[in-house]
Amino acid sequence: MDIEHKSGFIAVMGRPNVGKSTLLNRLLRQTIAAVSPKPQTTRLQQLGILTLPEAQLIFIDTPGLHIPQHKLGEMMNQDALLALEDADLALLILDGSKPPGEEDLIFGQAFSNLKSKPPVLLVLNKLDKISPGDLDDRIAQYQALMPESSLIAISAASGQNLDQLEDRLIQLLPEGPLLYPEDQVTDLYEREIAADLIRASAMNLLEKELPHVIAVRIDEYKEREGGNAYIEATLFVERDSQKGIVIGENGKMIKKIGSAARREIESMSDRKVFLRLRVKVKKNWRNDPNALRLFGFKK
């Protein structure tokens, strides 16, 4: 008798900085999604494809749902919520280290307006940061957001309970064939992932609000002899004063960003990389529809 095979699309939702990209990288056993301790690292949808003998899980990593302050924020929310329309299952990732906040309610409000609703699995992340005495209360607080959905507590950082999560996902997916080749892990090209890794490196090294005004454009991505790569990229900011901060005194900051990004790109691509960065000003780009299209955001 044939063994039942499962496949489907899983929308990975949640407010900024709850660990969506960390979880995706853990489940795929490699880095394809940029990770930073600062919120809103993910700005566009990205597929992560996990192929197992009995199932193919196609994760849609989405921007964090938040209260927008500019057109960029509005488009990020739209991009995230669009993922629900094609999903066979929605994962709502929750930050168990703190009580629910206003941004946690955005998903429920949007979900209630959908005509066709996929099943929802609540994933209480950061289990390693919850004291045992607070766990039951925290589960109850988050379960109240969507009482009809089941909940599982995990730690994406430590890997705790990820096997249980994987088993639960397979149970919830519909029966279906392989939808992507077995060896494909994402729908993005290396150059697109490189742009995200450069921006994440800048976010990790820059302070306060400055990281969120940075956009990255890959200007050149060339193969070199021996399988190495040559990359040129431009970091865009909104004001001249920000440009000076990103470059730093005697170019020290941009060199730090470049070194950190190069290490991440080499780890991702498993080859040597030469990376050259420059910084330009694109005034008020987060509210400029033409600039947003240039950087890959589309309504």
Give 250-298 pLDDT, tens digit per residue: 999 999 999 999 998 888 778 899 999 999 999 988 888 887 777 766 5
Coil, strand, or helix at residue 34? coil
Give 122-145 pLDDT, tens digit per residue: 999 999 999 988 999 999 999 998
* DSSP secondary structure letters along 110-156: HHHT-SS---EEEEEE-GGGS-HHHHHHHHHHHHTTSTTSEEEE--T
Please tell me which of 6-15, 101-110, 162-171 the model is most confident about, judged by mean pLDDT. 162-171
Architecture of domain 6-172: 3-Layer(aba) Sandwich (3.40)
What ranges do the domains of the chain cover?
6-172, 190-294
CATH 3.30.70.360 for the 190-294 domain, yes or no: no
Residue written as token pair 């509210």? 287
| Residues 21 and 47 sit within 8 Å (Cβ to Cβ) | no
Give 178-191 pLDDT, tens digit per residue: 998 898 888 767 77
pLDDT of res. 71: 62
Give 25-77 pLDDT, tens digit per residue: 889 887 665 544 444 444 456 788 999 999 999 998 877 665 555 566 666 66
Average pLDDT over residues 210-214: 73
Angle at 229 between CA 297 and CA 187, to 5 degrees: 40
The two domains 6-172 and 190-294 share their CATH topology (first three levels equal): no
Count of CB atoms situated within 10 Å of the CB of 182? 9
Phi-psi bin for 103: left (phi > 0), alpha (psi -120 to 50), beta? alpha
| Residues 125 and 98 sit within 8 Å (Cβ to Cβ) | no
Predicted TM-score (pTM) of this structure: 0.67
Coil, strand, or helix at residue 172? helix
How far apart CA 76 and CA 236 sit, in angstroms, is: 18
Angle at 135 between CA 131 and CA 138, to 5 degrees: 120
Closest CA to 56 of 170, 201, 132: 170
According to DSSP, the residues that pair with 11 across neighbouring strands are 60, 90
| Residues 285 and 241 sit within 8 Å (Cβ to Cβ) | no
